[in-house]
Chains A and B, each alone.
Chain A
Amino acid sequence: MTSAPATQDLALSARGVRMEYLDRGTRERFVAIDSLDLDIKQGEFVTIVGPSGCGKSTFVKLVNGLLSATEGEILVRSVAKGKSDAMVFQDSALFPWYKIIDNVSYGLVCAGVSKKQAHERAMPLIKLVGLGGFENKYPYQLSGGMQQRANLARALCVDPAILLMDEPFAALDAQTREVMQAELLRIWRGAEAEGGARKTVLFITHQIEEAVFLSDRVIVMSARPGRIMEDIRIDLPRPRDLHVKRTPEFQEYQEQIWQLIASQLKAAASQFGGSTE
């Protein structure tokens, strides 16, 4: 980041974040994230990619408050209406004992909204994610892709200033995944039409193609300890559909990010004495 944007435009600001874990088995401390600085502007779609174990999931959990950092600070824009942030979990993490509508409105009920009102506010979102007619089903009656739609609707329902998505499509098959990527962009635009302001999204993935397709900016993280290696602006026109993946510009971005990650993998392999190929 060369020039720091004005603070009022920022949705998230992280400074010098360091996260250490204690390995219960070996009793050793290891550093998951080290000296991480990151600014995300309001309305930006930012994706963090990196090799597994680079601490990218840890970072969203820090933002969400599920974990607390060893050092550094993370500021999230506070908002008068709605929640400051909401998380779309990796495995859909729907409550199996609640119907879809109760799952989606869960955050509102937690915030003290009456059940009836919460249901009323959840319905448009259920329709937005394409689950209209399924609101009275239980999660087990839905496919994996549909469960992730409900997971997304649950996070959107609390009207968060920043939407945190922790590898939400990792468990889906390749085709469903492609559909869901396009759907996510549609829903992102749809939520904008409904709520006025464009949602800020912080998306975590290990899939480079997914990162390039979705994002305004891709943050490439290094292998453990996780540091930011590169911050790449993706200048592909929006609205995007899946055809953009066949364009040469798209492929170039993909290649550039792949080179960065490959260098990390090679370094990790030689460190453990393995071969690079």
Chain B
Amino acid sequence: MTAGTQMIAVTSNAERHRSRLPRWYRRREASILSFSGLAAFVIIWQVAAQIGQLDFTFFFASPTGIIEAASKEVQLPRFWDDVATSAWELLAGSGVALGLGVPIGLAIGWYRRVGFMFDPWLNFFNALPRIALLPLLVLWLGLGTEMKIAAVSLGAFFSIVVPTAQGVKTVDRNLLDVGRSMDASQGRIFTSIVLPATVPYIISGIRIAIGRGLIGVVVAEFYAQTKGIGVIIVKSQQALNSDRMLFGIILFTISGILLSYATSLLERRFQKWRPGQDMEE
């Protein structure tokens, strides 16, 4: 050893600093802080709205104002009709997108020739801003629910087809070899290897499709104002009622959150075999 070398302590003392905080807090720190962040924003918003002038609340709603507007809305049968209409448009549209998107995606990924035929169309529709097709949909299907379902499925379809096809194309070759070496039939190779390997891709497609589908509902209802939460938003804007308008926006947000939570449940159900899921089983 060289003379003059010194030993330096490398153990961290971060552990000691942290331990001063109470235990119940440390265990829930992440959720406590994220809730505080949310609460702080709402409180500041409310206080700012109250100390501001009257014409301030004219454009900017307040949290209590939104709650008031909400409690008035939920008593109207028309409101529930609007909610049911939007929900139906979203679910039916997503159902169509899923029902067509998954089989077509599987076919594109599995049969090279089908893939070649569909590829230019997929690229074409991907490049096309699909909202621009709304006027055409109105011409074909009118202003009603059918047009909105079509708008939702058009938005969601490509988010499902593309990852599904991608999933099939990237199936581990070694696993396919196992199937072939066991003389598995084409059908069995498909159901026992290709399909399970593609499920994670389909689910991540669904995740994106939810967002696209919601945009479809909103834009279609803005464009053809018959019924739905989108109509509530536009009508509130025309009446300069920003409280009610924000209530509508929050409703869309909540449905987005609920659907993405439902997707997580689906993910857990179908991906028990993936590391990170229920490790302590």
Contact = CB atoms under 8 A, between A and B. Distances in A.
A74 to B, nearest CB: 15
A157 B175 CA distance: 17
Given A96-B273, A110-B188, A66 B181 contact: yes
Given A138-B272, A140-B275, A95 B175 contact: yes
Given A111-B183, A158-B182, A96 B188 contact: no
B31 to A, nearest CB: 28
A223 B196 CA distance: 40
Contacts of A65: 180-181
Nearest to A158: B182
Contacts of A79: none
B182 A93 contact: no
A93 B273 contact: no
A89 interface: yes
Nearest to B197: A97
A158 B182 CA distance: 9
A98 to B, nearest CB: 7
> SS class of chain B's interface: helix, strand, loop or mixed?
helix
Contact of B177 (A93, A110, A111, A138): A93
Contacts of B178: 87, 89, 93, 95, 106
Interface in A122-169: 138-140, 158
Interface band, chain B? 20 to 34
Interface in B48-65: none
Contact of A110 (B172, B174, B183, B272): B183
Contact of A66 (B177, B193, B196): B177
B273 A98 contact: yes
Contacts of A83: 182-183
Contacts of B185: 110
A198 B192 CA distance: 32
B238 to A, nearest CB: 53
B182 A138 contact: no
B182 A89 contact: no
Contact of A64 (B174, B179, B181): B181
Contacts of A138: 272-273
B184 A110 contact: yes
B78 interface: no
B113 interface: no
Interface of A: 64-66, 83, 86-87, 89-91, 93, 95-98, 106-107, 110-111, 138-140, 158
Give me the 7 closest cross-chain CB pairs, A-B, nearest first. A97-B196, A107-B182, A110-B184, A97-B273, A140-B275, A93-B174, A110-B182
